[in-house]
Amino acid sequence: MKRRFTTLLTTLFLLAAGTSSAQLFIGPGISGGMTYGSNFIVSDTSQYHLPSAPGLAVSGGVDILYGFNENIRAHIGIAYRYKQLNLTAPDGREGLSFTEINRTATAVSIPMTVHYRIPLGEGSTYFNVIAGHSLDFTNEDSTVVKTPSMLVDSGGSWTRHEYQNLQRILPTILLGAGLDFETGNGSIINATLMWGLGTGRIFRGNISEWEVLNQPFDPAEQETPEEFPEHYFDYALRGSTLSLRLSYWFNLGDIFAPKEDSGDESMIED
């Protein structure tokens, strides 16, 4: 991670050294959209595959935008990100004690992107193309959930859910397109449709359901029934996000603007 920051800062310094029209912007940004989870550990043709359903994705934070010129700008920021990933029980499967599984991931995100702007007409509107990536710092966690027994005449049933939050740092590829609207004071209103492609696994877990027959069974006293699970589902999740991002960047002015001549005008040549 330190190498990524060093490379970025070095690139910014070299580009800044070769321009005299650099500008700096700072401001808030929020986004909202949907997360599309991918359960990739089991083939979607398997009867033990759990299909995914869209979940909610929101984030908010602060951006710093460095404008090398009117067309090329670099962005780095910090944001709080919330992702929801959903799994649903397969159609036509009987005996399952769950209909939907929800997993949520929260993270502190550091996006780093490059913006290329194309002017639209002679006005103050620009078409914006964005590419880069973010590092999402998640909380590591693991949980085991056991359901109460469901008694039947000759025994009972028992279900065990287990999941782990696998990684503390998740890289995400960012691609986007949108519009910049410049205000009279040089600030920018930005609206961008952003696609974040998750490249790392967020969760991994399994669901085991036993049907315990022909023996007394109490989940408070027995850790694991003797029978192999009647239904067993293993899953691992990564998520891609499609969201609309709105930002307002305040213009902090030119960084390398040439200084005006400060000579003493009161001096009069003889």
| pLDDT tens figures, 199-220 | 877 888 887 776 655 555 565 6
Q: Could you give the percent of the chain with pLDDT greater than 70?
A: 67
Which of 9-23, 120-134, 157-171, 253-267 has the largest mean confidence? 120-134
What is the C-alpha separation between 67 and 242, in angstroms, rounded?
A: 26
Q: What is the mean pLDDT of the chain?
A: 77
Matching residue, tokens 């700096």: 24
pLDDT reading at 153 higher than 60: no
pLDDT reading at 47 higher than 90: no
CA distances from 108 to 26, 90, 137, 236 (A): 19, 33, 5, 22
- Answer yes or no: are the C-beta atoms of 241 and 83 closer than 8 Å: yes
Residue 134: its pLDDT value, please? 93
Matching residue, tokens 């759990």: 50
Six-digit token pair at 194? Answer: 């952003």
pLDDT band for 246, please (50, 70, 90 cuts): very high
- Answer yes or no: are the C-beta atoms of 143 and 162 closer than 8 Å: yes
Residue 11: its pLDDT value, please? 56
Lowest mean pLDDT among 156-170, 188-202, 241-255: 156-170
pLDDT reading at 228 higher than 70: no
Residue 92: its pLDDT value, please? 64
Beta bridge partners of 191: 179, 246
- Answer yes or no: are the C-beta atoms of 85 and 239 closer than 8 Å: yes
Lowest mean pLDDT among 55-64, 86-95, 137-146, 208-217: 208-217
The separation between CA 105 and the C-alpha centre of its own chain, rounded to angstroms, equals 9
Phi/psi of residue 190, nearest 5 degrees: -120, 135
Q: At 72, which amino acid appears? A: I
Cα torsion angle, 40, 50, 135, 166, sign: negative
pLDDT band for 73, please (50, 70, 90 cuts): very high
pLDDT reading at 185 higher than 70: yes
Q: In the 8-state DSSP scheme, what is residue 236? A: E
